[in-house]
Structure 1
Amino acid sequence: ENTIECLSYEESASSGDKKAQGSVRQGPITIRKRADRSTPLLEKALFNNERADGIFRFYRPDPAGDGSTQQFLTIELTNARISSIRRVSPYTIDPETALEPVCEEVTFTVNNVRWTYEANGTSFSSNAAP
């Protein structure tokens, strides 16, 4: 419900060259996901230039080793926009890739990002326009 399972997440920020030292620029954020019920809604947001706020939750095996998972990182986007969607279909002739799902790479241009390490609540918010 109101969630999208991401297969991968990519983000960067850069302080640029020596002339721009101290001036950090937030790069785009790209996720890879399976084509699913959110596909038309994401396309609508792209074509209508809608605001796309969201929360990404990252999980890992619980350090206790009990087989459960632990949410360890949260990244929250506010005032973001979808800047591109790229659909990738597997090569269906090759039996090794024929059963792979159709995936989408969704790229967000972001203004506000908040990173929170859940174990101790350490967080930082940026307002680095792309």
Structure 2
Amino acid sequence: MANHGYMSINGKSQGLISAGCSTQDSIGNKCQEGHRDEIMVMSFNHNMLNTGNVRASTHGPVVITKSIDKSSPLLAVALSNREELNCVINFYRISQFGQHQKYYTVDIRGCIIASLTVEVPHSVLLNDIDAQEHLSIRYREIIWTHHLAGTSGYGSWETGR
């Protein structure tokens, strides 16, 4: 079973970019009333590595796959204007009681959108796939929190430089 993720995005200029993103008008029948002001995350990827000749870890961008929604034009503006953002991504899973529970959070601060790719699949050959966006986000700081296990961590690309 797939785990769900939801992301909120606050822009320095535009405010709550994710406001109304999980509504009927924004994403149609996929709307989630309990996550009205969050963006549904279909995929999350993030890579960090230690390279032998560099004194600090290398933080790659956080890459999100999401549906085209109300935030899509606002994210394009944020990229165009190099607007600083703060993003919180919450991950949910099914509990032992069959309920959705938030178990993990990634909080990224001082963000800039590095790339935004819109993908509308071929309407005949791939007629069961929805349009989506791939959003690459570079950040200054990252905080990981595992709510149920009580652990957390902090990282910054500025650390050790």
Tell me the TM-score normalised to structure 2 length.
Answer: 0.72
Describe the superposition over 1:62-90 as per-residue Cα deviations: whole angstroms up to 9, x where unpaired.
1x2x2211211100011010011001111
Distance 2:128 2:151 in 1: 41
Pairwise mapping of residues 17-96 of structure 1 onto structure 2 (< 5 A)? 18-20=52-54, 23-62=56-95, 64=96, 66-94=97-125
Following TM superposition, the consecutive aligned residue runs of length 4 or more in structure 1 with deviations greater than 4 angstroms are: none
Q: Residue 2 of structure 1: CA displacement?
A: 2.6
Unaligned runs of 5+ in 2: 1-35
Distance 1:36 1:99 in 2: 18
| Structure 2 residue aligned with 1:127 | 156
Distance 2:115 2:53 in 1: 30
State the aligned residue count: 123
**Partner amino acid, structure 2, of 1:42:** L
RMSD of the TM alignment (CA)? 1.3
Q: Percent identity?
A: 24
Q: Residue 120 of structure 1: CA displacement?
A: 3.2
- RCO comparison, higher one (Cα < 8 Å, 6+): 1
Tell me the TM-score normalised to structure 1 length.
Answer: 0.88
